[in-house]
Amino acid sequence: EQLQSADVIVDAVLGTGFSGDVRPPLDCVIRAINAAGQSKVVAIDLPSGLDCDSGRPCNATVKAGLTITFVAPKIGFLEQGAGAFTGKVHVADIGAPVKLIRQVLGAQTGD
């Protein structure tokens, strides 16, 4: 009921280390967040339940209208269907050195 009347819902339930299925009671929390409406949900780093590498949702995955992620978009955000969960993606600068970011991204893409 409180989620329905909220102006903004911040999703920071699960992070990048999550894998598998969302278990109770968190699966119910995610379903309640989604029932409140995607346009009011802001995910921090990635939507809870979305695999950051594959872009695949699990059994309960937040549908955000906006995802504020750090340093660079997660690789999984580029996969088909991931945008339905991330909504608009904004990359926040947290001070990571550009050289390091390029090295990491290059290692992930094989460049």
Locus of tokens 């346009």: 39
Is the predicted pLDDT of residue 110 greater than 80, yes or no? no
- Cβ–Cβ contacts within 10 Å for residue 2, how many? 8
Class of residue 19 by CB neighbours under 10 A (exposed 0-12, middle 13-18, buried 19+): exposed
Is the predicted pLDDT of residue 107 greater than 70, yes or no? no
pLDDT tens digit string along 10-31? Answer: 999 999 999 999 999 999 999 9
25 or 108: whose pLDDT is higher?
Answer: 25
Handedness of CA 10, 90, 74, 62 (dihedral sign): positive
